[in-house]
Structure 1
Amino acid sequence: MINLRSLEIFYWAAYLSSFSRAAEKLNTTQPTVSQRISALEEQFGRQFINRASKPVSLTPDGQILLQHAELILRQVSKLEKEFDAQNRVRQTIRLGVSETIVQTWLSRFLETSHQRFPNIDFEITVDITSSMMAALQDGELDLTFMLGPANVEGMACHHLINYPLRFYAAPGLVPDNLLGVDQVGLRPILTYPRNAYPYSHLRELLFRMTDTRPRIFTNSSLSTIERMAIDRIGIALVAQGAFSPSLERKRLVALESEIELPPLRFFAFYLLGVGADVLEELVRIATDVAASAALSDF
């Protein structure tokens, strides 16, 4: 009799073209993936995987098995959903999140998700978009909320929310809380890392507006940017709503400015394929929570 777990392992090894990525995706080890696939090959007396190729590829028999495996696994997933079995089995979703979302509506998403899926645990990674995209493609993450969009084969991309970029400073640092071009060179701008938006866009814009090399201090931690702004080291440029507690305590003020940049656009990403039903449900929850956050924050 065919083992469903072995079919699932074969499916993801074929889908991701990698034993190691399949192991990450399924929370198992690479030797286990290899052993399970070898057992399938022995059971059928056929070779399904070309192990010598990098990335691994399927033999003609492997292509046939993949078609059957996907149909079987999708039917099993449909059956589990029909009887709500997914809500009775504890599982872990590896979620990658941009820090802006952590500072705004992640807690509301987790609370709402727990009400809908009480047996899902979240393993959360906070990182920049480029790192999370690589982890998602390698099977190290199941779902990400990060900057987009991106057109990647085999990956879903759903819009969540746009956040306007705003300048923030300690009270009294900028006269009349109005940041003009003449004020830009007086204090460094504190913002996201060089390999993330809006660094390059901001740098080019300030170059054109001032004809001088702008002073931009970058950091991957929003809390560090916030602390530096409070300490009057510079003027922060971050997503609107990210510093709400400091604004309420009057440790920072929002500035009006003639310097305008496109907003931060956040999207949900996950790999398509068998088992994506729960991820689709979670994205629907995230979309609703993000829409509610937009109404309250803006």
Structure 2
Amino acid sequence: MNLRFVEAFYWVATLKSVSRAAEKLFITQSAMSARVAALEDELGALLLDRRDKTFRLTVAGSRFLVHAQKLLELQRTAKAEVGSELAPEMTVRLGAIESVLHSWLIPWVEALRQQYPSLELELTVETTPVLIDQMRRGVLDIAFAALPASGDGIRTSTFPTMEMCFVGNRTIHARRKYSLEEIAAFDLLTFQRGSQPHVGLLDLLRSKRIQPRKVHTISSISAMLQLVHGGFGVATLPKAAVERLSETRHIRPLVCTSALLPLPIHVSYRLDPVALTAEQLLAGAADYAGKKSSYRKNR
């Protein structure tokens, strides 16, 4: 039995789409369809119900999916035990929000490179809604976002939250401590509308019955930092990111009498029966997330 055909069927069944499975395996849709058809010919049974546009496995397809996963896992185990001592090349499609990128993601990736020299990384930096959609479609193997993804074959785990703080220009915002009323007198910059930082900021202001001067929503940390650097206003950002980036920017975290809600971080990932599992790659990642505040000092 050709295991490439088994792998093709496994991803079509898991992602519920021939096109998504083809994107996952970096082949054309026609090649993917041909592999599944060849497997059906070998088994003597239809695995996919092609009567309409709604994706469905046949009874035989549902039964064979269990065997397909076991076959692929056995292949991976056999290669690991009797294969070459050289680590196989592997590609990991990783997605992360900017808050994670600018705090602890880079040192963790550097550690992965040391542990897995053959690792080839495809990194996507996007907003949480985009990352969740890409996880569901099978475009990503691992995603760090403010919300967990859901769907067949997706597992999630909670990571340490990220402390948020107000950030100002070193010259303009030089006081030791600010009240929330004083900060709200400046233009405020936060993440995109509807995001946890945006909603949390508005809820905090409403709870104190404070009407802000202006609240601007910006999806890019780099853009926010440039605006703060130029004196445009005060931003809400992860403290770990501010500590790392303040060395090259004229910015500083501001002490405020009212604290911002921390930013939740979730990791979503798919288990791959063929390649190194996401759980192996993620082992120790939470340690980097928990030690994010000390990274800048140890460089």
Same fold (TM over 0.5): yes
- 1:16-61 deviation per Cα after TM superposition (whole angstroms, max 9, x unaligned): 1111111122222211111111111222332110123444211112
Q: Aligned pair in 2 of structure 1 residues 31, 222: CA closer, same or farther (>3 Å)?
A: same
Per the TM alignment, residue 151 of structure 1 is displaced from its structure 2 partner at its CA by 5.3
Give the structure-2-normalised TM-score: 0.90
What SS does the aligned partner of 1:243 have? helix
Note closer, same or farther for the CA distance 1:276–1:73 as it changes in structure 2 (3 Å cut). same
Same amino acid, percent of matched pairs? 28
TM-score by length of 1: 0.90
Q: Deviation digits for residues 62-96 of structure 1, max 9, x if unmatched?
A: 12221221111111122233357696321211111
Alpha-carbon distance in 1 for matches of 2:72, 2:140:
21
Structure 1 residue identity aligned to 2:17 = S
SS at match of 1:123: strand
Q: 1:104-152 deviations in whole A, cap 9, x for unaligned?
A: 2222122211111111100111001110111011011111122234555
Instruction: Give the whole-Å Cα distance in 1 for the aligned partners of 2:227 and 2:203.
Output: 23
Say if 2:141 and 2:270, in contact at 8 Å, map to a contact too: yes
Number of matched residues?
297
Question: 1:118 aligns to what SS in structure 2?
Answer: coil
Quote the offset at 1:205 in angstroms: 2.2
Does structure 1 conserve the Cα–Cα contact (< 8 Å) formed by 2:242 and 2:253? no
The separation in 2 between residues aligned to 1:151 and 1:166, in whole angstroms, is 30
Greater CA deviation, 205-214 or 239-248? 205-214
Conserved? CA contact 1:80–1:86, under 8 Å: no
**SS of 1:159 mapped into structure 2:** strand
Mean Cα deviation higher: 232-241 or 106-115: 106-115
| Correspondences of 1:266-281 after superposition (within 5 Å) | 266-272=265-271, 274-275=273-274, 277-281=276-280
CA displacement, residues 182-207 of structure 1 (integer Å, 9 cap, x when unaligned): 21342111111113221112113213
Q: Is the 8 A contact 2:96 2:124 kept in 1?
A: yes
1:10-25 to 2 correspondences below 5 Å: 10-25=9-24
Is 1:239 aligned to residue 238 of structure 2? yes
Deviation for aligned residue 1:287: 2.2
Q: Which moved more, 1:207-216 or 1:132-141?
A: 207-216
What corresponds to 2:7 in structure 1? Answer: 8
Distance 1:153 1:17, change over 3 A: closer
Secondary structure of residue in 2 paired with 1:189: strand
